[in-house]
Structure 1
Amino acid sequence: MTSLMTALPLFPAEIPSPPRGVWEIGPVPIRAYALCIIAGIIVAIWWGDKRWQARGGRAGFVVDVAVWAVPFGLIGGRLYHVITDAHRYFGEGKNPLDALKIWDGGLGIWGAIALGGVGAWIACRRRGIPLSAFADAIAPGIVVAQAIGRLGNYFNQELYGGPTDLPWGLVIYERVDPDNPLITDRLGGVSNGVVEAVVHPTFLYELLWNLAVAAVIVWADRKLRLGHGRVFALYVAGYTLGRTWIEMMRTDPATHVFGVRVNVWVSILVFLGAVVYFVLARKRGDREPPELLRGTEPGEKAEDDDSAEAEAEPVNHGANSGTDGDEPKQE
């Protein structure tokens, strides 16, 4: 038994990439990247709703917010990607219409968070609920959704690092058009078994980091009863801390500022902002009271106002007639 255990490697010799990331069902392409994004959104909404109810909010409110936040977030994520990677879509030999092909991959997390936050703010404001409280409830689900989304990069064979001989190196295969093996198709093609490189699986590094961040912020939230946006700030700080060093390992083309990838600069700045907010928000105290998270249902406020006015009428009549509306008449 001992000799058998010593013969087995502790890690696999390499991590093979999937042979393809797109499957055709009739005329409809099924893309692994899109499925991973959808799965991540579902997990974030489900877990966020559980956490929202546990903090005192109404069931189903997170779904209502998602109706606003998800479309805003997808648009924002794509805009950020296109702006920071404009060289992929604009210039000689490029097709600007490719910028609209969100199904081919390419979502910038900070654009998604920023514009998704606008959508969430609109939904929360309509119900009279603090956006910070909602952000705290949804934060762990968001970072887990990001982890699930990184599996889409794995299927697309993208966002990897430089060459490595480590036992967990990721094997990148040449992919070709299934109808014409002479045409290379890195995104929609099928592997022909030819190895192009063995690289750092930065998608996996970020996936594992994100899961660790989720565990840390859930623990801190339970231990410290964080509120007023501090859970979300801790998520942002934790995520950007890992994204900074992982981003520097990547070798895919990217926009650089002063010789450094733009996403590295963004991560550093956002990290500093999150830390400052986390510290300053401490003086606001523990979590928001549960009654503040109940908000109002559509039309509920108007009904309450009408009933309050109706209850006030008898008292006013009593005062006008010279009698005390709070005391019974003496016979």
Structure 2
Amino acid sequence: MEVSVTSPGPIAISIAGFDIRWYGILIASGALLALYISYKRAPIYGLASEDVLDIALGILPLGILGARIYYVIFNWSYYSDSPSEIFDIRGGGLAIHGGLIFGFIAAYAICKYKKISFINVADLILPSVALAQAIGRWGNFFNNEAYGTETSLPWAIIIDGKSVHPTFLYESIWCFIIFIILSSIFNHRKFPGQVACLYGLLYAPERFLVEGLRTDSLMIGFLRQAQVISIVIFIVSIALYVYLWKRNDYNIKNNL
């Protein structure tokens, strides 16, 4: 039975002629919830809750900036002709890979400055990042963007009169599953860095597969650019997992 749905539109509410968009509401809600969870969990890894706030003040704006820069760079053919729209993020256009890259750089710099463990911080925040992704992806639905190819599946969404894959939904569900998995091992990690590496190992394959369904991706050779980045993340995550695991065993055996 077909139950295809259509987005109700990007505007949540208008106040005095100012439109408040679902995209912004969902991004902000996901970020605030991620911050709250990380704040409450911080003492488990020996981190001060106040340090989480300091890090959040750095990674949230820089993460959004990085996500926008990344999106604009890989869509430069459009923005070169419409430079005034580069700063208009209310209508969509944030790339999670750019956000992760800039966010990691900001978090690393803050951790070095405050002399706290970057690995512990990564283990702390990445489960919540997955939850924020699960929430934020619904902004794509309201904006009618980041959808997939045509399909006859019953959970398709209607875009321009066509039934297409709701790729936002696939990623939202999988990111929520990642959050559940990482949260379940949060208190039982085998070594520092395990949670962060598992985030990469779980997220990269999903993004690689879902990206193959999308119609708005840029290509690098025969692969989409997000698929190439996903391959890199997966390989780096495997290498780091093995390295950190062996280093932890070595430290234990040598009582370091």
TM, length-normalised to structure 1: 0.71
Q: 2:39 aligns with which of 46, 49, 55?
A: 49
- Separation in 1 of the partners of 2:180 and 2:36? 17
Q: Output the amino acid matched with 2:167.
A: T
Whichever residue aligns with residue 109 of structure 1, its letter is I
**Which protein shows a greater Rg?**
1
CA distance in 1, matches of 2:186, 2:240: 16
1:210 and 1:239 in contact (8 A); partners too: yes
Structure 2 match to 1:37: 27
Q: Are residues 1:111 and 2:98 paired?
A: yes
Hey, what's the Cα distance between the residues in 1 that align with 2:190 and 2:42? 13
- Is 1:62 matched up with 2:52? yes
Contact 1:37–1:152 (CA under 8 A) maintained in structure 2: yes
Matched, 1:205 2:170: yes
Residue in 1 aligned with 2:16? Answer: 26
Structure 2 length-normalised TM? 0.91
CA distance in 2, matches of 1:212, 1:88: 35
Contact 2:44 2:187 (C-alpha < 8 Å) held by counterparts = no
1:100 to 49, 68, 87: 87
Residue 276 of structure 1, aligned match among 219, 239, 246:
239
Counterpart AA for 1:16: V
In the TM superposition, residue 15 of structure 1 has moved relative to its aligned partner by 3.5
Whether contact under 8 Å (2:149, 2:164) holds in the other structure is: yes
**Match of residue 154 from structure 1:** 141
The sequence identity of aligned pairs, in percent, is: 33
SS at match of 2:14: strand
Q: Does 1:260 align with 2:223?
A: yes
- Alpha-carbon offset, residue 54 of structure 1: 2.2
1-side partners of 2:9 and 2:108: how far apart?
A: 39
**Is this contact kept in 2: 1:169–1:200, CA < 8 A?**
yes
Indicate the residue corresponding to 1:290 in structure 2.
Answer: none
Partner of 2:154: 167
Structure 1 residue 32, shift from structure 2 partner: 0.7
Q: How many residues in Structure 1 have an aligned counterpart in Structure 2?
A: 249
Aligned to 1:4: none
- List gaps (5 residues or longer) in structure 2: 250-256
Q: Which structure features the higher share of helix residues?
A: 2
**Alignment partner, residue 202 of structure 2:** 238
